Amino acid sequence: MKHFYYYRNLLLVFLICFSTFLVKAQTDICDTAGIHTNPFAPVNLQKPSAKNYFNWMLSPSNHNFTCYQGSSQSFIIVSPWYETSKSNLFIKYANGPNSDFYPQDGWELLKQNLGRLNNDTTPRAINVELPYFMVYNKYTGLMNMFCTLSSQLEMYDYAIANIYQYTPGQNGLNASAVFDAIAPFNQALDQKTYYTGMSLVTVPTNNRNFFFWYQFPVAYDPCVCHHRSTILVDFGFEARGYIFTIGDAEINFSTPGSEFSNLDNEEISSSVLDPFGNLLSEYPAFNEVLGTFALLQTPIIQHFDSTAYETKGGAPIDKDVYMIANPILYAFNPVMHEDTINTKVNVAIYLKYKGNGKLPIHLLKNIGFSQIDTNSDFISTYVPVECATSFISALTHSDDWSVTDNYDIYLKFDIDFVSTDIGRSGKPNQSHLLFTYPVNVEEITNATLTNDPLNFLHPCVIKTHALSHQFVKDYCNDGIKGLSYQAYLLNDTASGTHIIQNSYPTNFDINIYPNPASGSAVLNLKLPVSNEFTMIISDVQGRLLKRCFENKTFEAGISNFVIDISNLSSGVYFCKIFNGSIMQVKKLVVAD
């Protein structure tokens, strides 16, 4: 009988252990971890010891951070949200308690080092040479990084942050598409990674009591969960034409949500190495996959190069017809909690001229394409993504040159994202997202199209939605026939970095006048370097009303651009001027 109870208990222990194993086996690392870094209500079931209590918001009665150096020394750093001196690099964005930094509006703490761990009590083992904190917005994919130096021997002209993936393709580490958002054009996840990092340049404060900062976007790569990768940030400071590095002024953390990141410690020592001999990465406070939107498959556009079908003044005119051939496979980051009914995804075919100057293209009316500001580039009408394969656009041109030889073809996405999460305003969180992807072109020659291409349109299908999280997980596991995730591999011609000059330099300024205005207004830009911008106008409900220009180049110095607002009724509107690294929103009042 004694042996019976012994073996019975042994069997029970085995069954409990086996059941626990099954539960763990069914927990997919690609599932969201449910982490929230709100210091007043932190949640981290993945690593409870790393719950965040660091308050990056502060309060009207407390405008200062304390940076701790060991257990006995400390100094004050003024909060960027409450710093209102004219020398502040981000004065336009410092709005006290009304600043855009609240967790309810999507902000999460990614990493911080002001001398203590995220419990805001335990001192770090190593004195901090570059105090910093990084906050990330999960609805826009934007990262803000605030930094200063504990001590310095020079007055620096520029502060350069190099943010890159650490040794992808080596030592057990992989690439990812996380930095794809800073590229001139995005890439679908069935393509190998081209951009592995970025260099950001800003003006330092040269005062340890005040932060300087950087802002940059990150891309959504859901498959980092299965492919270990690491992000490293190091800094250079330029003075007298020389670049200086500052001791241990670097940040090293696992790509949030990537494989093994949940096994990392919140703090690492320079003496701790992984099995490959690399410095171990730190655990990010918000250990969820970053980014907002991903395209899983490169779109295919069919190009029908028709035979001549009419003449214009005796010269033959050709018609080039473009049609999106495959369904658009896209996904939103599940941490955004998409409202599938109210989120709108629109697409357009974009023809970008490869050369310089203008081309003698003659447009046919009402068949989808229009010229944009450069007079050499063309964009089709935006249509709902579910109608993409039903929509046809066409160009006409003299037959002595080739469209495909002179143009690169892209697919543009214009997304009005609505979340089911409610922000501080009491309304759902929203964001406006823009992406541009290269396509694969399928050439169909000698096509005789004698009728207007609009006659070939098919009825638009019922509303489709982003791919399910389960579909994306299967895709990342190579479980979807005909699809293959490739972004963990490096492109043979991969670029080390993409430079973003002056994240928010002191001499960057945008204004609109007169304000109030009627009929037209003038956009005035003051830029340190030439840059491309897009401008849109929306109403107070966030509805897009007008696209003023797209990817328009403005030269360094002062530029003016006249905005036609004659079709806007009197009221309040918002003008958004932005590119991959800079964004400003200006309020415009239209008067009768």
DSSP string, 506-554: TT-EEEEEEEEEESEEEEEEEESS-EEEEEEEEETT--EEEEEEEEEEE
Start-to-end CA span in the chain (Å): 97
**Spatial distance between the Cα atoms of 123 and 125, rounded to a whole number of angstroms:** 6
Q: What is the pLDDT of residue 14?
A: 39
- Per DSSP, the three-state class of 226 is helix
pLDDT of residue 378: 80
pLDDT (mean) for 424-429: 94
Q: What six digits make up the tokens of 272? A: 């701790």
413 burial (CB, 10 Å; 0-12 / 13-18 / 19+) is buried
pLDDT in tens, 61-110: 888 999 998 777 899 999 988 876 645 455 556 777 888 899 999 999 99
Collapsed DSSP state (helix, strand, coil) of residue 575: strand
| The pLDDT of residue 495 | 54
pLDDT digits (tens, 9 = 90+) for 388-414: 877 667 666 555 556 667 788 899 999
Q: Which of 21-25, 214-218, 382-386, 414-418 has the lowest mean pLDDT?
A: 21-25
- Dist CA 49 CA 120 (whole Å): 12
Whether the pLDDT of residue 534 is over 80: the answer is yes
pLDDT tens, residue by residue, 264-286: 777 765 545 555 555 567 889 99
Q: Residue range 251-261: average pLDDT?
A: 85
pLDDT (0 to 100) of residue 147: 93
- Rounded to whole angstroms, the Cα distance separating 463 from 459 reads 12
Whether the predicted pLDDT of 339 surpasses 70: yes
Q: Is it true that the peptide bond before 168 is cis, omega within 30 degrees of 0?
A: no
Whether 205 shows a pLDDT value over 80: the answer reads yes
Of the candidates 163, 342, 323, the one whose C-alpha atom is nearest the C-alpha of residue 255 is 163
In 3-state terms, what secondary structure has residue 357?
A: coil
Torsion of CA 423, 426, 428, 431, to 10 degrees: -60
Q: Say if residue 158's pLDDT is above 80.
A: yes
**The predicted structure's pLDDT at residue 323:** 82
Predicted confidence band of residue 358 (pLDDT cuts 50, 70, 90):
low
Which region among 217-226, 247-256, 348-357 has the lowest average model confidence (pLDDT)?
Answer: 348-357
CA–CA distance, 153 with 56 (Å, rounded to integer): 28
Lowest mean pLDDT among 376-385, 485-494, 507-516: 507-516
pLDDT for position 414: 92
Question: What is the dihedral sign for C-alpha 203, 204, 210, 211?
Answer: positive
472-494: average pLDDT: 87
Q: Of all residues in the chain, what percent carry a pLDDT higher than 90? A: 28
pLDDT-derived band at 260, boundaries 50, 70, 90: confident
* Residue, of 451 and 508, whose pLDDT is higher: 508
Q: Which fold has domain 509-590?
A: Immunoglobulin-like (2.60.40)
- Of residues 6 and 105, more confidently modeled: 105
Residue 374 has pLDDT above 80, yes or no: no
pLDDT of residue 382 exceeding 70, the answer is: yes
- Which class for 123: exposed (0-12), middle (13-18), buried (19 or more C-beta within 10 A)? middle
**Where does residue 350 rank: exposed (0-12), middle (13-18), buried (19+ CB within 10 A)?**
buried
Q: Which residue in 385, 371, 316 sits closest to 549, CA to CA?
A: 371
Q: For residues 147 and 251, what is the distance between their CA atoms, to the nearest angstrom?
A: 11
pLDDT at 453: 45
Q: How many helices (H) and strands (E) does the chain have?
A: 3, 35
Mean of pLDDT values over 547-561: 83
pLDDT at 364: 40
pTM: 0.77
Per-domain boundaries in the chain: 53-293, 297-466, 509-590
pLDDT surpasses 70 at 363: no
Query: What pLDDT was estimated at residue 557?
Result: 73
Token reading at 438: 């290269």
pLDDT at 343 (0 to 100): 94
* Angle at the Cα of 252 from the Cα atoms of 246 and 255, rounded to 5 degrees: 150
User: Is residue 361 over pLDDT 80?
Assistant: no
Residues listed for the chain: 592
**Structure confidence at residue 430 (pLDDT):** 94
Is residue 543 within 8 A of residue 505, CB to CB? The reply is no
Q: What is the pLDDT of residue 503?
A: 43
How many whole angstroms separate alpha carbon 96 and alpha carbon 115?
A: 24
pLDDT at 131 over 60: yes
Report CA Rg, the chain.
27
Higher model confidence: residue 404 or residue 359? 404
CB-side exposure of 569: number of CA atoms within 13 Å? Answer: 2
Q: How confident is the model at residue 387 (pLDDT cuts 50, 70, 90)?
A: confident
Asked, as a colleague might, if the bond just before 222 is cis with ω within 30 of 0, I would say: no
Nearest to 554 by CA among 373, 413, 359: 373
Residue 223: is its pLDDT beyond 60? yes
Which pLDDT value is given to residue 300? 92
Compare 583 and 75 and report the one with higher pLDDT.
75
Contact call for residues 486 and 560 (beta carbons, < 8 A): no
Which pLDDT value is given to residue 545?
Answer: 84
pLDDT value at 455 more than 60: no
Q: pLDDT band for position 54 (50/70/90)?
A: very high
**Confidence at residue 284, expressed as pLDDT on a 0 to 100 scale:** 92
For residues 539-547, average pLDDT = 74
